[in-house]
């Protein structure tokens, strides 16, 4: 995993775990890699991974089963989504608005683009499930 | 685990290397020791390992002076020097003659590390390349399972895949009982592996902070305009000022070890004041 320069590594690892949950790769109840395994995989200090996991536990996205390890919470998916949404509104949206304002892009123009994007995503999903059915 | 109290050391009485140097290192951490050429990184490591003796002051490992070179201390300590010395033996023969000094040595770990680092256990070490010799000694050092593991410039001479394997191995061997100290100039090799930064400058340790503390107190970034910020260090770039500012917004950015190093080894009083406000009043 390549780390970006603008965010603490522990937050980037937490985002990586969140992505796995959002993409459905790690569903509710799934055991997540141990601190050591994750540290080896990402070539980072185990204490950093520990901090990421504590951060995610604090948000209720993962939980600790004593002696068994860490698992994705039943409502982990919803919690990741809510947390990401809050971040988006706080961080990304002001930046988007600033660019729209500077470049004179109207909300209607964005709305149209977004509808196209949604349609495209749906097509891709359909295509993917068709491919799966064929196999 | 390691305690250095008022260490004074010099090779030449006119030029003291350390003046009342203090340092405290705990188990469960990977420390990155940085310093300019000639600042005394290797000498400090040798003092810790009992390979150089303080002129005054003490280097203690678990409460015992390492300069006494007691068996109980040395069997729980492994020092990997920057320039490794290897006898005309195969790794297997080296193991038979040397592993016995380390009660916690794991033969299984040793052969697994050799395999990971792609070293032939039956090849004479004197026939190996420099990088291979170094990897062999790294495999041996990790397999000793000593409480203190000191590595002086371990990634020098390692090829790119070996550096990746080295990072994975170090991440896998850290545990609550182990204290790992790595000195390096290759900060990019190790910046996500270490959790505490030690910077040796001006005969003492000027920075002794965890990466968490550093990113909590400092913010590293490129700024077009620095007005209103407490600028601790800055460099000019095409994009603007690449600077370390006091972190007042509560953001958690990524630390740039190179920039921190440049800041700590040039005019650093502002930076050090932000990191250690308490020492001002002592």
pLDDT in tens, B64-76: 999 999 999 999 9
One domain, residues A17 and A64 = yes
Encode pLDDT of B76-102 as tens digits: 999 999 999 999 999 999 999 999 999
Q: Choosing among A43, A44, A54, A91, which should be mutated to test the B contact, i.e. which has the most B CBs within 10 A? A: A43
Establish if A2 touches chain B: CB-CB under 8 angstroms: no
In CATH, what number is assigned to the domain containing residue A58?
A: 1.10.10.10
Q: How close, in Å, is residue A15 to chain B by CA atoms?
A: 14
pLDDT at A71 over 70: yes
Backbone phi, psi, residue A129, to 5°: -70, -35
A28-63 confidence digits (pLDDT tens): 999 999 999 999 999 999 999 999 999 999 999 999
Residue to mutate among B254, B256, B257, with most A CBs inside 10 A, is: B254
- The pLDDT of residue B279 is above 50: no
| CB pair distance less than 8 Å for B195 and A48 | yes
Query: What's residue B188's pLDDT?
Result: 84
Contact at CB, B212 and A3, closer than 8 angstroms: no
Do the beta carbons of residue B181 and residue B33 sit within 8 Å? yes
The range of the structural domain enclosing residue A129 comes to: 105-134
User: B235 vs chain A: nearest CA distance in angstroms?
Assistant: 17
Mapping DSSP onto H, E and C, the string for chain B reads: CEEEEEEEECCECCECCEEEEEEEECCCEEEEEEECCCCCHHHHHHHHHCCCCCCEEEEEECCEEHHHCCHHHHCCEEEECCCCCCCCCCHHHHHHHHHHHCCCCCHHHHHHHHHHCCCCCCCCHHHCCHHHHHHHHHHHHHHCCCCEEEEECCCCCCCHHHHHHHHHHHHHHCCCCCEEEEECCCHHHHCCCCCEEEEEECCEEEEEEEHHHHHHHEEEEEECCCCCCCEEEEEEECCEEEEEEECCCCCCCCCCHHHHHHHHHCCCHHHHHHHCHHHHHC
Q: Which residues of A touch B171 (CB under 8 A)?
A: 36, 39-40, 42-46
Tell me how many domains chain A contains: 2
User: Are A72 and A112 found together in one domain?
Assistant: no
All domains of chain B in start order, with CATH: 2-201 (3.40.50.300), 211-281 (no CATH)
Residue A121 domain flag: yes
pLDDT above 70: percentage of residues in chain A = 97
Instruction: Name, in order, each residue with C-beta under 8 angstroms of A22's C-beta and a sequence gap of 6 or more.
Output: A77, A80, A81, A84
Q: Residue B170: pLDDT above 60?
A: yes
**Nearest CB to A3; choose among B164, B174, B254:** B254
- Is residue A91 domain-resident? no
Give a yes or no: residue A88 inside a domain. Answer: no
- Who's near A82: CB < 8 A, 6+ residues apart? none
Residues A14 and A72 grouped into a single domain: yes
Dist. CA B164–CA B167, nearest whole Å: 5
pLDDT score, position B278: 52
Is the domain of A68 the same as that of A14?
Answer: yes
What is the C-alpha separation between B222 and B215, in angstroms, rounded? 15
Give domain status of residue A126, yes or no.
Answer: yes
Residues A72 and A121 in one domain: no
Do A68 and A112 share a domain, yes or no? no
* pLDDT over threshold 50, residue B282: no
Instruction: Give the three-class secondary structure for A100.
Output: helix
- pLDDT one-digit tens code per residue, B209-250: 999 899 889 999 888 888 888 889 989 988 888 899 998 877
**Residues of B in Cβ contact (< 8 Å) with A8:** 215, 252-255
Task: Write the CB contacts of B127 (distance below 8 Å, at least 6 apart in sequence).
Answer: none
Residue A99 covered by a domain? no
Residues of chain A contacting residue B252, judged by C-beta atoms under 8 Å apart: 7-8, 10-11
Higher-pLDDT residue of B281, A11: A11
Is residue A92 in some structural domain?
no
Q: Is the Cβ–Cβ distance between B86 and B136 less than 8 Å?
A: yes
A89 within domain boundaries: no
Question: If you average pLDDT over every residue of chain A, what do you get?
Answer: 91
Domain boundary among A76, A94, A116: A76
Pick from B29, B192, B256: CB nearest A43: B192
**What ipTM did this prediction achieve?**
0.85
The C-alpha atoms of residue B92 and residue B110 are separated, in whole angstroms, by 10
Q: Nearest residue on chain A to B220, judged by CA atoms?
A: A6
What distance in Å separates the CA atoms of residue A83 and residue B205, rounded to the nearest whole number? 40
Residue A18 included in any domain: yes
Q: What percent of chain B has pLDDT over 90?
A: 74
B280 pLDDT exceeds 70?
A: no
Taking residues B246-271, what's their average pLDDT? 86
pLDDT (mean) for A67-88: 92
A67 and A126 in a single domain? The answer is no
So what's the pLDDT on residue B117? Answer: 96
Query: For chain B, what percent of residues have pLDDT higher than 70?
Result: 98
First CA to last CA across chain A, in angstroms? 31
């Amino acid at each position: 995993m390549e780390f970006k320069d603008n965010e603490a590594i522990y937050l980037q690892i937490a985002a990586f775990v969140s992505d796995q949950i959002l993409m459905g790769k790690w569903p509710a109840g799934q055991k997540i890699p141990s601190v050591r395994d994750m540290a080896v995989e990402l070539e980072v200090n185990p204490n950093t991974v520990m901090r990421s996991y504590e951060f995610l536990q604090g948000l209720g996205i993962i939980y600790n089963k004593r002696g068994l390890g860490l698992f994705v919470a039943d409502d982990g998916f919803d919690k990741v989504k809510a947390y990401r949404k809050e971040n988006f509104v706080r961080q990304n949206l002001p930046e988007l608005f600033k660019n729209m304002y500077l470049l004179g892009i109207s909300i209607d123009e964005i709305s149209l683009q977004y509808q196209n994007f949604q349609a495209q995503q749906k097509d891709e999903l359909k295509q993917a499930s068709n491919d799966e059915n064929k196999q | 685990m390691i305690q250095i109290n008022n260490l004074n050391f010099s090779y030449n009485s006119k030029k003291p290397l350390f003046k009342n140097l203090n340092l405290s290192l705990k188990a469960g951490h990977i420390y990155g020791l940085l310093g300019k050429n000639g600042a005394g990184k290797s000498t400090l490591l040798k003092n810790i390992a009992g390979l150089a003796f303080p002129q005054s002051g003490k280097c203690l490992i678990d409460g015992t002076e390492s300069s006494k070179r007691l068996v109980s201390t040395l069997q729980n300590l492994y020092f990997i020097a920057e320039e490794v010395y290897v006898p005309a033996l195969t790794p297997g023969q080296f193991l038979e003659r040397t592993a016995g000094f380390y009660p916690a040595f794991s033969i299984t770990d040793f052969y697994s590390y050799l395999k990971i680092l792609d070293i032939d256990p039956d090849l004479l070490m004197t026939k190996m390349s420099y990088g291979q010799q170094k990897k062999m000694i790294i495999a041996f050092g990790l397999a000793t399972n000593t409480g203190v593991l000191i590595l002086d410039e371990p990634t020098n001479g390692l090829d790119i895949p070996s550096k990746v394997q080295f990072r994975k191995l170090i991440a896998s061997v850290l545990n609550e009982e182990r204290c790992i100290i790595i000195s390096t100039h290759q900060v990019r090799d190790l910046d996500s592996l270490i959790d505490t930064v030690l910077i040796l400058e001006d005969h003492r340790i000027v920075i002794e902070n965890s990466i968490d503390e550093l990113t909590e107190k400092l913010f590293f970034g490129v700024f077009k305009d620095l007005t209103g910020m407490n600028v601790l260090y800055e460099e000019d770039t095409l994009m603007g000022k690449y600077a370390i500012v006091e972190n007042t917004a509560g953001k958690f950015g990524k630390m740039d070890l190179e920039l921190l190093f440049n800041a700590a080894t040039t005019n650093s009083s502002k930076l050090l004041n932000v990191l250690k406000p308490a020492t001002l009043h002592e």
